[in-house]
Amino acid sequence: MDFESLGLGPELLKAVAECGYTEPTPIQAKAIPAILMTRDVLGLAQTGTGKTASFTLPMIEILSGGVAKARMPRSLVLAPTRELAAQVAENFEKYGKYHKLNKALLVGGESVIEQKKILDRGVDVLIATPGRLLDLFERGSILLNDIKVLVIDEADRMMDMGFIPDIEKIVSFVPPIRQTLLFSATMPKEIKRIADKFLTNPKEISVAAPAATATNVHQGLVWSPPRRKKETLAALLQQEKVKNAFVFCNRKRDIDGLAKWLKNKNYDVAALHGDMDQSKRYEVLEAFKNDEFRLLICSDVAARGLDVAAVSHVFNFDVPMHPDDYVHRIGRTGRAGMDGRAFTIAAETDDDRKYINAIEKLIGNAIEIQPMGGQKESASHSQNKPQNKPHNNSGKQATQKNKPSHSRDRDDKPENKPNHQNKQSPQKTAPQKESAPVDSVKQQPQPQKAPQQNKPNKQNKQSGQDDSSSKGFGDELPDFFKN
Ligand code: AMP
Handedness of CA 193, 194, 198, 203 (dihedral sign): negative
From CA 383, how far away is CA 273, in angstroms rounded? 32
| Alpha-carbon gap, residue 340 to 215, rounded angstroms | 9
Task: Please compute the mean of the pLDDT values over residues 391-413 and round it to a whole number.
Answer: 32
Average pLDDT over residues 301-327: 83
Indicate if the pLDDT at residue 454 is higher than 90. Answer: no
- Top pLDDT among 315 and 273 is at 315
Look at residue 392 and tell me whether its pLDDT is greater than 90. no
Q: Check residue 217 and give its pLDDT.
A: 86
pLDDT at residue 363, as a whole number: 84
| Highest mean pLDDT, choosing among 112-121, 127-136, 372-381, 439-448 | 127-136
pLDDT of the residue at 65:
85
Whole-prediction pTM: 0.59
Percent of the chain with pLDDT over 70: 74
pLDDT over 70 at 378, yes or no: no
Length of the chain: 483
Torsion of CA 227, 228, 231, 235, to 10 degrees: -150
- pLDDT, tens digit, for every residue of 68-111? 899 999 999 999 988 899 999 999 999 999 999 999 999 987 78
Average pLDDT over residues 293-308: 80
Which residue's CA is the nearest one to ligand 1's atom 19?
A: 24
Cβ neighbours of residue 45 under 8 Å, at least 6 residues apart?
Answer: 27, 51, 54, 183, 185, 205, 206, 207
In the reported structure, the alpha carbon of residue 28 is separated from the centroid of ligand 1 by a whole-number distance in angstroms of: 10
Task: Work out the burial of residue 338: count CB atoms within 10 Å of its CB; fewer than 13 is exposed, 13-18 middle, 19 or more buried.
Answer: middle
- Residue pair 229/347 in contact (Cβ under 8 Å)? The answer is yes
- Residues with C-beta less than 6 Å from any ligand 1 atom: 21, 24-25, 28, 47-53, 307, 336, 478, 480
Atom 8, ligand 1: residue with shortest CA distance: 50
For 60, residues 6+ apart whose C-beta sits below 8 A from its C-beta are 12, 92, 95, 96, 99, 101
User: Is 90 exceeded by the pLDDT of residue 474?
Assistant: no
What integer best gives the mean pLDDT of the chain?
77
Q: What is the pLDDT of residue 390?
A: 30
Q: Spell out a b/e string for 231-270, using b for 16 or more CB atoms within 10 Å of the CB, else e.
A: bbbbbbbbbbebebbbbbbbbbebbbebbebbbebebbbb
The structural domains of the chain, ordered by start, are 3-206 (3.40.50.300), 217-387 (3.40.50.300), 415-483 (no CATH)
Residues 6+ apart with CB under 8 A from 385: none
Mean pLDDT across 368-377: 69
- pLDDT at residue 323, as a whole number: 85
Distance (angstroms) between ligand 1 centre and the Cα of 337 equals: 10
Shortest-distance Cα residue to atom 23 of ligand 1? 50
Task: Measure 45 CA to ligand 1 centroid, in angstroms.
Answer: 12
Relative to beta strand 295-298, strand 245-248 is: parallel
Residues 458-473 pLDDT 10s: 333 333 332 222 222 2
Where are the alpha helices (H) located in 241-289, listed in sequence order? 252-264, 278-289
Atom of ligand 1 nearest to the CA of 3: 19
CA neighbor of 270 nearest in space, from 251, 288, 244: 288
Label residue 208 by pLDDT band (50, 70, 90).
low
* pLDDT at 11 > cutoff 70: yes
In this prediction, residue 280 carries a pLDDT of: 83
| Burial of residue 475, with CB atoms counted within 10 A of its CB: 0-12 exposed, 13-18 middle, 19 or more buried | exposed
